[in-house]
Amino acid sequence: MEKYDCLILGAGAAGLFCAARTAARGRRTLVIDHSAKPAEKVRISGGGRCNFTNLNTRAETFLSDNPHFAKSALARYQPEDFCALMQAHGLSWTEKTLGQLFCDQKSGAIIEMLLKEVAASGASLRLNTPVSDVRHTVDGFVVSTPDGPLQAESLVVATGGLSIPKMGATGLAYDVARQFGHEVVPVRPALVPFVFDGETKADFATLAGVSLPVRARAGNGPSFDEALLFTHRGLSGPAILQASSYWAEGEALTLNLLAEPLGRPTFMQQRQDTPSRPLQKALGHLFPARLAPLLTRFISGAVQRPLQQISERDLRALDEALSQWALHPSGTEGWRTAEVTAGGVATNGLSSRTLASHHVKGLFFIGECVDVTGWLGGYNFQWAWASAAAAAEVA
Ligand SMILES: Cc1cc2nc3c(=O)[nH]c(=O)nc-3n(C[C@H](O)[C@H](O)[C@H](O)COP(=O)(O)OP(=O)(O)OC[C@H]3O[C@@H](n4cnc5c(N)ncnc54)[C@H](O)[C@@H]3O)c2cc1C
């Protein structure tokens, strides 16, 4: 039987990064993956430029049943640490909006960097290797593969979540977790567009391609001031993807089109500033031309009237309607397009310092399979790097 000190399941962002660091400690390390290519999600990330971290990373930018869990790992491996690694490999980056760092080179350059790190550390990588069974024996873990069993003292599970099944996503991590007595927080697609049915779907379809800054909020989640994009099936864009992570079926998605930071004056304000401007023109002035007609539904009476001829009561009602536009999605686009999986291996069974299992010595869960889900904007990769680094200290 082939024997290793550390066997890592999943050659994605977290698995490759962890492999390089465990092997650098002198641990005989093998990372296996059932796919033909490693880290394919890195390749497609950030529109091909991998938004690899976020300078504003803090525990509050993650969802988890335990909001404190991610703190330790995130504090010990920070965005600057990954930037230093990139720099050492001659890679550069650009800060886009909101602290998001994108690679100046193509995403593939980050995969190459990870593979170089793996090779330099002496760790081995084996692709096209599905896992059929995981057992724990007195000699450690035994993982069955078509090429025979692999034995290791430490087993790191880094097989990610369920999003984008056509790229090889599976629920292996959750199966292994349950097998060894771990709870799994119910999983759901996150950072995912909303879909609508009926009249709303038809309305939005006519606006497909229209984008505008909004404040979006779902459920009890925080508000996000970013862009919304109308699609043929519903709503997408950063503000919507962010809100979707907090949405539960049946809940409303609330849009505020007049939130202060968006810089759009209320119609009451406009009545004072530009009293002779017709309401229709005022709407067209603030919103994309294709959207304005839909918004006129929020006011009764002729929209050609100058603002001064519309009662304060009606304009207040319009301001309120545009500040609290409650929509009821029929669902989300689901795993097919979700950028991440919310929920996952429950943090109550893991050490926040090392990501080690409290139930079985030598077992670790890292990356997206853990119930730690980042906002849009590089936070999920930062969790992949930080959780991998934490586990690699001891695995
Ligand atoms: C379209 C898209 C764009 C994204 N853009 C960004 C971005 O710009 N910034 C950001 O921070 N995050 C982004 N994300 C999220 C980010 O890609 C993930 O959070 C991150 O890749 C998780 O890393 P991971 O190593 O935990 O899992 P993964 O990267 O998913 O790796 C898991 C690995 O395990 C393998 N595997 C799965 N099941 C098995 C099995 N049964 N047997 C063997 N191997 C298995 C898979 O083949 C895969 O290689 C994006 C996601 C998507 C889908």
What is the per-residue pLDDT for 175?
Answer: 98
Provide the H-helix boundaries in 213-311: 238-244, 267-273, 279-286, 292-295
Domain span at residue 203 reads 194-332
Number of domains into which the chain is organized: 2
Q: Which of 332, 348, 378 lies at the terminal end of a domain, its last residue?
A: 332
Distance 45 CA to ligand 1 centre (A): 9
Which atom of ligand 1 is closest in space to residue 170's alpha carbon?
38
Closest residue by Cα to atom 20, ligand 1, is 381
Which atom of ligand 1 is closest in space to residue 159's alpha carbon?
34
Which atom of ligand 1 is closest in space to residue 172's alpha carbon?
41
- pLDDT for 341-365, tens place per residue? 999 999 999 999 999 999 999 999 9
- pLDDT for 196-224, tens place per residue? 999 999 999 999 999 999 999 998 899 99
Distance 48 CA to ligand 1 centre (A): 14
What is the per-residue pLDDT for 21?
Answer: 98
- Which of 339, 371, 382 best tests ligand 1's pocket when mutated (most atoms within 8 Å of CB)? 339
In whole angstroms, what is the distance from residue 319 CA to residue 105 CA?
45
Same domain? 72 vs 18 = yes
Cα angle for residues 310, 311, 314 (degrees, 5° grid) = 95
Q: Give strand pairing partners of 357.
A: 350
At position 134, the amino acid (one-letter code) is V
Same domain? 13 vs 29 = yes
Closest residue by Cα to atom 17, ligand 1, is 41
Same domain? 207 vs 324 = yes
Which atom of ligand 1 is closest in space to residue 380's alpha carbon?
11
CATH number where 347 lies: 3.50.50.60
Ligand 1 contact via 381 beta carbon (within 6 Å): yes
pLDDT at 310 over 90: yes
Which atom of ligand 1 is closest in space to residue 50's alpha carbon?
8
Closest residue by Cα to atom 10, ligand 1, is 378
Same domain? 168 vs 313 = no
Same domain? 163 vs 32 = yes
Strand 373-374 relative to strand 234-236, pairing: unpaired
- pLDDT grade for 123, boundaries at 50, 70 and 90: very high
Q: Which of 297, 315, 332 lies at the terminal end of a domain, its last residue?
A: 332
Which atom of ligand 1 is closest in space to residue 41's alpha carbon?
17
Ligand 1 contact via 384 beta carbon (within 6 Å): yes
CATH number where 228 lies: 2.40.30.10
Q: Give the count of beta carbons closer than 10 Å to the beta carbon of residue 214.
A: 26
- Average pLDDT of span 14-42: 98
In whole angstroms, what is the distance from residue 71 CA to residue 52 CA?
19
Distance 340 CA to ligand 1 centre (A): 8
Same domain? 277 vs 314 = yes
Ligand 1 contact via 131 beta carbon (within 6 Å): yes
What is the per-residue pLDDT for 301?
Answer: 79
- pLDDT for 243-274, tens place per residue? 999 999 999 999 999 999 999 999 999 999 99
Q: Which of 332, 353, 377 lies at the terminal end of a domain, its last residue?
A: 332
Q: Provide the phi-psi class of 15: left if phi over 0, else alpha when psi is between -120 and 50, else beta.
A: alpha
Q: Please name the residues in contact with 363: beta carbons below 8 A apart, sequence gap of 6 or more.
A: 136, 141, 154, 155, 157, 180, 356, 357
Same domain? 321 vs 268 = yes
Same domain? 206 vs 88 = no
Same domain? 6 vs 91 = yes
- pLDDT for 269-306, tens place per residue? 999 999 999 999 999 999 999 999 899 989 887 889 99
Distance 162 CA to ligand 1 centre (A): 9
Same domain? 276 vs 317 = yes
Average pLDDT, the chain: 97
Same domain? 258 vs 150 = no
